[in-house]
Amino acid sequence: MSFGDSKKYDRLLEAYQSGDVDRRTLLKIISGMAAAVGVVGLPVASFSRSALAAVESIRFDGWGGIVSEAFHNYAFPPFTEKTGIKVVEGEFGDTEEFLSLVKAAQPGDYNIFLVSGVYDYARFCKAGFGEAINEANIPNLNLVLPATLEAFRSESEGKLYAVPFDYGVTGLAYNRKYISDEEAKAQGVKLQFDEKYKGKMALYDSFQTRVWMSSLHLGQDPQAATDINAIWDDLRKQRELVLKYWNSGQEFIDLMAKEEIILSDGWSGRVAALQQDGHDIGFLADVGFAWLEGLYVLKGSPMAEAEQLLNFCIEPKVSIAIAEGQNYPSSLDPTKVPMTDKVKKLPAYDDTGKFEGYVWEKAKYWYDNQDAYKKEWERVKKGA
């Protein structure tokens, strides 16, 4: 391939990824270039393969378990049928794991992932891992709750790197066979520090959640700690009571379902899944915090396909089907898009879309303190 041919190809691919050239046109041009190869003998095969790979598939990484199942069942097959673009599915247990994978990868190796929380959204943006979305290519954005769009835009200088998709609450989950609703409501977060539940609880392995819950226990503001050393001491004492720290929503479900534990932090959607499977699990949504998930686009992704997939996932029928499947309410505005009875009954669902009374994470606080908090939490978790 000559330098001039390479420059032409680069410009062509840039035009396609920016949306100026559609998929069908790109394939037609590539076919023409391949024909030219037969005449002039240029080695086009290498760059035509990369272009075809870009237009034929896109990678999506989710949280596994019922979340990935919902996307697999209700979004990806019909998207592929409609567009011809295959979705390559991946899973991760927690954001730290996925962040490490992205850091070690080349741009374009990973395309879209389900980012959980405004804090994680902000740190992916600050690290330069995101690709800004052309909102004009996603008409269904006008159906999304304005508050969720603003939550993301406010962390990325007005640009949008992810489409808000769902929301949930981290709260207190407990087995009603052993802990009554009355006790749970009376004790709240104190249950997690009660010695009578030693060896009967598991907690989420997250510095943010651990600091948050301990702050509530000590009467401090979870997002403005006045005595962080007291929080670490509190968590050291709690460590003696904990059977294990879990790392994924599916692990939490397994532990609760098998009654290996009777008390834990819980994500509202995973708690709903347990309840639907017949497990008598109680849930306190006011002990903890609310969070927003989004479909985040990573740098180097084929933007035309990415934006097609984002728009498809927030089509009302698709979004609501996934919400029912994964048990997290859709980020679509319920005043514009009628929700089903099942969605309305989900824990954390807000029929007003105003989120009054919800306590949201403050991305700046967690971002500014993440290094120190992560380091100390790792020490506490290991018994240091």
**For position 37, what pLDDT does the model report?**
47
Distance CA 144, CA 141 (A): 5
Residue 51 lies in a domain: no
Residue 50 lies in a domain: no
Do residues 61 and 115 touch, judged by C-beta distance below 8 A?
Answer: no
**Interacting residues of 143 by C-beta distance below 8 A, sequence separation 6+:** 314, 316, 332, 333, 336, 337
350: left (phi over 0), alpha (psi -120 to 50) or beta: beta
**For position 91, what pLDDT does the model report?**
94
Inter-CA distances, 38 with 28, 43, 45, 166, Å? 16, 9, 11, 50
Q: Is the pLDDT of residue 293 over 90?
A: yes
Q: What is the pLDDT of residues 171-189, one digit of tens each?
A: 999 999 999 999 999 999 9
Q: Mean pLDDT in the chain?
A: 90
User: For tokens 């330098």, what's the residue?
Assistant: 3
Distance CA 120, CA 343 (A): 25
Q: What is the pLDDT of residues 334-360, one digit of tens each?
A: 999 999 999 999 989 999 999 998 999
**∠ CA 114-148-251 to the nearest 5 degrees?**
35
**For position 31, what pLDDT does the model report?**
54
pLDDT-based confidence at residue 211 (cuts at 50, 70, 90): very high
Which DSSP helix (H) or strand (E) runs through 291? strand 281-297
Q: What is the pLDDT of residues 20-62, one digit of tens each?
A: 555 555 555 555 555 554 544 444 444 444 454 445 899 999 9
Q: What is the pLDDT of residues 79-111, one digit of tens each?
A: 999 999 999 999 998 899 999 999 999 999 999
Distance CA 320, CA 83 (A): 21
Residues 174 and 148 in one domain: no
**For position 45, what pLDDT does the model report?**
46
Residues 75 and 138 in one domain: yes
User: For tokens 């673009």, what's the residue?
Assistant: 85
**For position 48, what pLDDT does the model report?**
45
Do residues 312 and 75 touch, judged by C-beta distance below 8 A?
Answer: yes
Residues 201 and 249 in one domain: yes
What is residue 106's DSSP assignment?
P
Residue 35 lies in a domain: yes
Residues 257 and 306 in one domain: no
Residues 174 and 279 in one domain: yes
Mean pLDDT calculated for residue range 130-134 = 97
**For position 20, what pLDDT does the model report?**
55
Q: Is the pLDDT of residue 327 over 80?
A: yes
Q: Which amino acid is at 325?
A: G
More confident residue, 145 or 44: 145
Q: 3-30 burial, b for 16+ CB within 10 Å, e for fewer?
A: eebeeebeebbebbbeeebebeebbebb
Write out the residue range of the structural domain in which residue 178 sits.
Answer: 168-288+368-381
**For position 41, what pLDDT does the model report?**
43
> Percentage of the chain surpassing pLDDT 90?
82
Residue 94 lies in a domain: yes
What's phi and psi for 300, nearest 5 deg?
Answer: 90, 0
**For position 56, what pLDDT does the model report?**
84
Full-model pTM: 0.82
Residue 123 lies in a domain: yes
**For position 43, what pLDDT does the model report?**
46
Residues 84 and 146 in one domain: yes
Q: What is the pLDDT of residues 252-268, one digit of tens each?
A: 999 999 999 999 999 99
**∠ CA 154-155-157 to the nearest 5 degrees?**
70
Do residues 67 and 326 touch, judged by C-beta distance below 8 A?
Answer: yes
- Which CATH number goes with the domain that contains 328? 3.40.190.10
> Percentage of the chain surpassing pLDDT 70?
86
Residues 179 and 151 in one domain: no
Q: Is the pLDDT of residue 250 over 80?
A: yes
Q: Is the pLDDT of residue 309 over 50?
A: yes
Domain count, the chain: 3
Strands of the 112-116 sheet, one edge to the other: 86-91, 57-62, 112-116, 281-297, 162-175, 263-267, 201-204, 242-246
Inter-CA distances, 336 with 139, 148, 357, 358, Å? 14, 15, 22, 21
Distance CA 311, CA 339 (A): 18
Residues 162 and 182 in one domain: no
Residues 62 and 97 in one domain: yes
Residues 242 and 374 in one domain: yes
